Amino acid sequence: MTRYIVRRVIIAVPTLIAISMVVFTILALAPGDPLSEFANNPAVPPQVRQNIRKNLGLDDPIPVRYAKWFRQVVQGDFGYSFRSRSPVLDLIKMRLPTTLYVIGTAYLISILIAIPIGVLSAVKQYSVFDNVATTIAFIGFSLPTFFTGLLLIIVFSVKLGWLPSIYRSTINTPGLLGVWERVEQAIMPIAVLALFQSASLMRYVRASMLETIHLDYVRTARAKGLPGRAVITRHAMRNALIPVVTIIALGVPAVFTGAVVTEQIFRVPGIGSLLITAIYDSDTPVVMAITFIFAVLIVVFNLIADVIYGVLDPRIKYS
């Protein structure tokens, strides 16, 4: 097991290097100039501009720049933002808690919704409950998140006036009211993400449960007289949820990137909105860092999914 994990990590390293090369090359080949704002600013003499370019190493050939970037990243340093002149890592650390709070809550809620509904739906296949649940799930995952977000704003902010449509990170209201304000503004972003995630997750739970329910060992459990509830929860569910757990792990990076849109709708000051502003500002170090972090998430959660699968299902042999 340990050997398998070690080997997988070793395989993951070249993948990550390749991804960082791809992203770096795209950025380097791009025709835009990260210092174009200086170029348009007459107050900056050409000589100074040259010096800045030299200091940032922008005149070196691409492989040299990549090697420099790589050496820094290995040491945990993502460089400085062109725009705010502060270390990229600090910027990300500042934004991360908000993103984690919104995404984490949403994902947790969607798991808590999807599993019971998916299981019930499969157990009572073709019942009214199943039909309603699958239809809602189908609609939920066909609804683009940007549209759900705007719909919620129209209903709960514009028409009813119950919830704020813009997320503020600067809430100073003391006491319980301040806590409520923090919770209140997160309700809609969380709801948007949770609806989409639970809809797609529920379809997996239902499909996996349907497959398991018709297996012989479940029939045996029924035949030996176990009550229906015990058959479902203790026999069928335990096996049916194994692939679901891996799907949950594999879904984490997608939730992160999906949050880019949600953060934009509600102006949540998280990683996603940092990425968007960085792209608009041609802030290469920030873009590079966030894209790379997303890639790391994908690779790491793939690995986690594989390991969990092996732990939960002893029939899987690591070779």
Partner 1 sequence: MSEVTESRVQSASRADTLAEVGALTAKKPRSLWSNAWRQYRRHKLALAGTFVLLFFIVATIVGPFLWDQSATSIDVAAALQGPSRKHPMGTDILGHDVFARILWGGRVSISVGVVAMLVSIFLGTLIGAISGYFGRFIDSSLMRLTDLFLALPTLPLLLLVIYLFRDPMQKTFGVLIGMFILIVGVIGVLSWMPVARLVRAEFLSLKEKEFIEAARCMGAGTASIIFRHILPNALSPVIVAATLGVGSAIITESTLSFLGLGFPPDTPTWGRLLYEGQEYIEIAPYLVLFPGAVIFLSVLSINYIGDGLRDAIDPQRTL
Tokens encoding 269? 């000051």
Contact call for residue 298 and partner 1 (CB under 8 A): yes
φ and ψ at 77, to 5 degrees? -120, 115
| Cβ atoms 102, 193 nearer than 8 A | yes
Tokens (6 digits) for 239: 């096996």
Compute the least distance from the CB of residue 46 to partner 1, in Å.
23
The smaller minimum CB distance to partner 1, of residues 80 and 196, is found at 196
DSSP string across 274-308: HHHHHHHTT-HHHHHHHHHHHHHHHHHHHHHHHHH
Backbone angles phi, psi at 227, to 5 degrees: -65, 150
The site map against partner 1 for 208-237 (x = CB under 8 A) is: --xx--------------------------
If one asks whether residue 305 binds partner 1 (CB under 8 A), the answer comes out as no
The owner of tokens 């984690």 is 100
Rounded Cα distance between 37 and 284, Å, is 14
304 makes contact with partner 1 (CB under 8 A): no
Q: What is the spatial distance between Cα 73 and Cα 88, in angstroms, rounded to a whole number?
A: 11
HEC string for 125-191 = CCCHHHHHHHHHHHHHHHCCHHHHHHHHHHHHHHHCCCCCCCCCCCCCCCHHHHHHHHHHHHHHHHH
121 binds partner 1 (CB under 8 A): no
Interface with partner 1: number of residues (CB under 8 A):
49
60 near partner 1 (CB under 8 A): no
Binding piece for partner 1, criterion CB under 8 A, among 57-65, 66-74, 212-220, 279-287: 279-287
Q: Which positions from 68 through 97 interact with partner 1, judged by CB under 8 A? A: none
In whole angstroms, give the CA distance from residue 58 to residue 120: 59
Q: Cα–Cα distances in Å, from 155 out to 138, 160, 191?
A: 22, 6, 13
One residue of 96, 279, 308, 312 binding partner 1 per CB under 8 A: 279
Token pair recorded at residue 51: 């010096």
Select from 2, 40, 55, 142 the one that contacts partner 1 (CB under 8 A).
Answer: 142
- From the list 2-10, 22-30, 95-103, 107-115, the region that binds partner 1 by CB under 8 A is 22-30
Q: Which residue matches tokens 């073709």?
A: 126
**Does 253 help bind partner 1 (rule: CB under 8 A)?**
yes
CA torsion sign for 166, 170, 173, 178 is positive
Based on the shown chain and the rule CB under 8 A, indicate whether residue 207 belongs to the binding site for partner 1.
Answer: yes
Shorter beta-carbon distance to partner 1: residue 163 or 226:
163
**Contact track, partner 1, 143-182, x by CB under 8 A:** xx-xx--xx-xx---x------x-----------------
Q: Which residues, in sequence order, are bridge partners of residue 80? A: 87
Site for partner 1 contains 37 (CB under 8 A): no
Binding residues for partner 1, rule: CB under 8 A, are 15-16, 18-19, 22-23, 26-27, 30-32, 138-139, 141-144, 146-147, 150-151, 153-154, 158, 165, 203-204, 207, 210-211, 253, 257-258, 260-261, 264-265, 275-276, 279-280, 287, 290-291, 294-295, 298-299, 302
